[in-house]
Amino acid sequence: MPTPPVVVHSRHYECDIGPHVFPVLKYGLVLRRLIDEGAIVASNVLEPEMPSQETLALVHTPGYLEDLEQLRHGPRTWVSELPLTREIVTAYALAAGGTTLAARSALELGTAVHLGGGFHHAFADHAEGFCYVNDLAIAIRVAQREGLIRRAAVVDLDVHQGNGTADIFQGDESVFTLSIHQEANYPVPKARSDLDVGLDDGVSDAEYLDVLDRVLERVWAARPELVLYQAGADPYRDDQLGGLSLTVDGLEARDRRVLDGCAQRGIPSVVTLGGGYARRVEDTVEIHTRTARIAIGRSAGKEARA
């Protein structure tokens, strides 16, 4: 019997961050779209659990976790471009639980979608950008600690470099980090991923997909047992924080390259949403929805293992 597609979501992701370029509403809007069009049913949406402090400490330093716990402003938290409130810290910690849950599901069923996460600017010891907790790194560390996998890869296709993730896994041969991003954009300076591709401004679909095809070969060569896909919607040509020129169709083709590539090789894959700041929020929702649909199509077609 085909298994229901695994989608992870929490309404707590729509936390109050004040007037902000980050549209937290997108999480609920993507979920609504998927339910309305019949891609998923509401009862099959999984709720993440809050990770323990011990789990968060697999990636983050005690001092930083204490700052988050105490909502303490200081050098480890003030680089964040978000307010520091209990509600927001809870939402970010919960998102780490969400990516971890999606990773467990993907290891069982092949693919899972987290309608959240991808907070790749969070470092082990400090916040950055719109990121407090690095959900990608935590999911990998949990899966490794439980002996579910040895090697993993992060395919980060957000328009901004995944500097926190790159730094966390720097020198760790068990995790291959790829980031394709716009070179002349945040963050400055950049961290070092195992493979960084810094694109020129204005790169369009054909050029992007050509680069992607070539560099994905390096990901497959690393023989990951799990791929975490940061499917940022911000390489879109009408993004307020991006300077690339991909179309909605180009981004869908990008997603297929990654997710089909994983499926063809039998590598479990997890989608996380990452950034997306299109002038029209509907565009961001459309891009994320298409990404989710591709992954859902994959997991729905997979037979359950007894």
- Which positions lie near Zn ion, rule CB under 5 A? 158, 160, 232, 234, 275
Q: Are 229 and 272 in contact (CB under 8 A)?
A: yes
Q: Are 209 and 180 in contact (CB under 8 A)?
A: no
Q: How far is the CB of 240 from Zn ion (least distance, A)?
A: 11
Nearer to Zn ion by Cβ, of 128 and 158: the residue is: 158
Nearer to Zn ion by Cβ, of 167 and 234: the residue is: 234
Q: Are 30 and 78 in contact (CB under 8 A)?
A: no
Q: Are 265 and 298 in contact (CB under 8 A)?
A: no
Report the number of secondary-structure helices (H) and strands (E) in the chain: 9, 8
Cα angle value 139/143/147 (rounded, 5°): 170
Residue whose pair of structure tokens reads 């509401």 in the numeric block: 42
Q: How far is the CB of 118 from Zn ion (least distance, A)?
A: 8
**Angle formed by the axes of helices 205-221 and 248-264, nearest 10°:** 20
Q: How far is the CB of 247 from Zn ion (least distance, A)?
A: 18
- 121 catalytic per annotation: yes
Nearer to Zn ion by Cβ, of 250 and 275: the residue is: 275
Q: How far is the CB of 179 from Zn ion (least distance, A)?
A: 11
Among 121, 160, 181, 288, the one annotated catalytic: 121
SS3 content of the chain, % helix, strand, coil (to 5): 40, 15, 45
Nearer to Zn ion by Cβ, of 234 and 283: the residue is: 234
Nearer to Zn ion by Cβ, of 164 and 224: the residue is: 164
CB-nearest residue to Zn ion:
275
Q: Are 204 and 245 in contact (CB under 8 A)?
A: yes
The CB-side HSE value for 51 (13 A sphere, CA atoms) comes to: 28
**Angle formed by the axes of helices 86-109 and 135-145, nearest 10°:** 50
Nearer to Zn ion by Cβ, of 67 and 239: the residue is: 239
Which contacts (CB < 8 Å, 24+ apart) does range 245-250 have? 245/202, 245/203, 245/204, 245/205, 246/203, 246/204, 246/205, 246/208, 247/205, 248/283, 248/286, 248/287, 248/290, 249/205, 250/204, 250/205, 250/208, 250/209
Determine the Cα–Cα distance for residues 188 and 106; give it in Å rounded to an integer. 33
Burial of residue 112 (number of CB atoms within 10 Å: 0-12, 13-18, 19+):
buried
Q: How far is the CB of 130 from Zn ion (least distance, A)?
A: 8
- Which residues are known to be catalytic? 121
